[in-house]
Amino acid sequence: MAREMLGIDIGGSGIKGAAVDLSDGSFTRERFRVDTPRPSRPKAVAKVLAEVVDHFGWEGPVGVTYPGVVIDGVTMSAANVSKRWLGLEARALIADATGREITLLNDADAAGIAEMRLGAGRGRHGTVVVLTLGTGIGSALFTDGVLVPNTEFGHLQIDGEDAEIRASAKARDEQGLGWKKWAKRLSVYMRHLEALISPSLIIVGGGVSKRSEHFIPLIEGVRAEIVPARLVNNAGIVGAAMAAEAAHPLEAAR
């Protein structure tokens, strides 16, 4: 019998959930998406999370991603969401709204967990970093498969500016950058990151990684191997489900 867990990813534009088969990361039921409320205040987001849980009629624990730092269920940063999340007991708020046990973790960490277990990082040892290029730049750092959470490498300073402001997928869209120009910015960013942590593998995720052939070959001066993510849009959901399983191992067996 499939071991299933519900994973929900809170993104800049949409909140997406699916019941995940933990053995292979496939969805046992179709993905359900609701627009992220604007402004993205905690109570409004928690209400949408309850809607997603109800949609699936889910009774077990739930894994939820958040696009910022999460320490012991408390959200500690809010770069691209309402500042009301700062210092909030978000896990408790979401548990209250949904009536479920919640595992809450950073979105890039979740995507990284899924990539390491089932995607481009499978079987890879040493230092591996997963970067999600979207509204911001998310990062997940692994050493021999073990996650160091909340690394926030998207906020490294490059020429006095947040890296994600110059090099996220949103920056490419909004500033109308061609692939070449954007790849140049990514090269500067990745060289900086490499000088700090010397990864042997950089996995590039986020929606834009579906078009990796346009920019990964143009990245220059980086020693590490650079590959596209394999789970792309679903990595956050799958990783959230995996994290919930790790927190509630018995209840995942249904």
Binding site for ligand BGC (CB under 6 A): 67-69, 77, 79-80, 106-108, 132, 134, 136, 138, 152, 154, 164
**CB closer to ligand BGC out of 75 and 98:** 75
In angstroms, what is the minimal distance from the CB of 140 to ligand BGC? 8
107 vs 115 by CB, closer to ligand BGC? 107
Name the phi and psi angles at 215, rounded to 5: -130, -30
Residue nearest ligand BGC, Cβ-based: 136
Q: How far is the CB of 235 from ligand BGC (least distance, A)?
A: 12
The residue among 19 and 202 lying less far from ligand BGC, judged by its C-beta, is 202
Between 73 and 154, name the residue whose CB sits nearer to ligand BGC: 154
Residue nearer to ligand BGC on the CB measure, 98 or 151: 151
- Can you tell me the distance from the alpha carbon of 238 to that of 249, in angstroms, rounded to the nearest whole number? 16
Residue (170 or 230) nearer to ligand BGC, CB? 170
Provide, rounded to whole angstroms, the least separation between the CB of residue 9 and ligand BGC.
10
- Amino acid sitting at position 149: P
Choose between 98 and 168: whose C-beta lies nearer to ligand BGC.
168
For residues 130 and 149, give the distance between their C-alpha atoms in angstroms, rounded to a whole number: 12
Measured CA distances, 232 to 78, 124, 203 (Å): 23, 18, 11
Minimum CB–partner distance for residue 132 and ligand BGC (Å): 6
Q: At what angle do helices 235-247 and 107-118 cross, to 10 degrees?
A: 90
78-89 exposure pattern, b = at least 16 Cβ within 10 A, e = fewer: bbbbbebbeebe
Rounded least distance, CB 251 to ligand BGC, Å:
27
**CA proximity to 205, closest of 136, 150, 105:** 136
Nearest-approach distance from CB 29 to ligand BGC, in angstroms: 25
Which residue, among 5, 9, 10, 11, has the nearest Cα to 27 in the 3D structure? 5
DSSP secondary-structure letter at 37?
A: P
- Nearest approach, Cβ of residue 166 and ligand BGC (Å): 13
Please give the C-alpha separations between residue 148 and each of 46, 63, 106, in angstroms, as whole numbers: 27, 18, 11
